[in-house]
């Protein structure tokens, strides 16, 4: 693959990701969330684990719960 073809393929991949995915960042503090951090560190696929938890929550609570607490 030529250098130009690699660049074009990389750009196509970046465009695809931009159109078809969402990235979520979560900041956890060692002092306040140590239990959550420990659990996440023991999970091989954090993405799959979090998606399954959210889907379970959706199945149990079809109406979104809006919390008044802001972090």
Range of the domain at 34: 23-65
Q: Would the pTM count as exceeding 0.85?
A: no
CA–CA distances in Å: residue 48 to residues 9, 15, 43, 52, 66: 27, 24, 9, 6, 23
* 64 confidence band (pLDDT: 50, 70, 90): confident
CB 51 within 8 A of CB 45: no
Domain assignment present for 12: no
**pLDDT tens-digit map of 4-40:** 888 888 998 999 999 999 999 999 999 999 999 999 9
Give a yes or no: residue 44 inside a domain: yes
| Position 13 in a domain | no
Residue 36 lies in a domain: yes
Tell whether 59 is covered by a domain.
yes
Number of domains comprising the chain: 1
DSSP result, 17-41? HHHH---------TTTSHHHHHHHH
Q: Is residue 34 part of a domain?
A: yes
Confirm whether 4 is domain-assigned: no
The two tokens of residue 65 are 């719960």
């Amino acid at each position: 693959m030529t250098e130009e073809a690699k660049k074009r393929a990389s750009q196509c991949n970046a465009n695809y990701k931009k159109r078809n995915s969402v990235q979520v960042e979560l900041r956890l503090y060692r002092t306040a969330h140590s239990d959550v951090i420990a659990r996440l560190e023991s999970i091989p696929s954090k993405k799959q684990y979090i998606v399954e938890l959210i889907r379970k929550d959706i199945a149990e609570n079809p109406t979104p719960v809006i919390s008044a607490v802001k972090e």
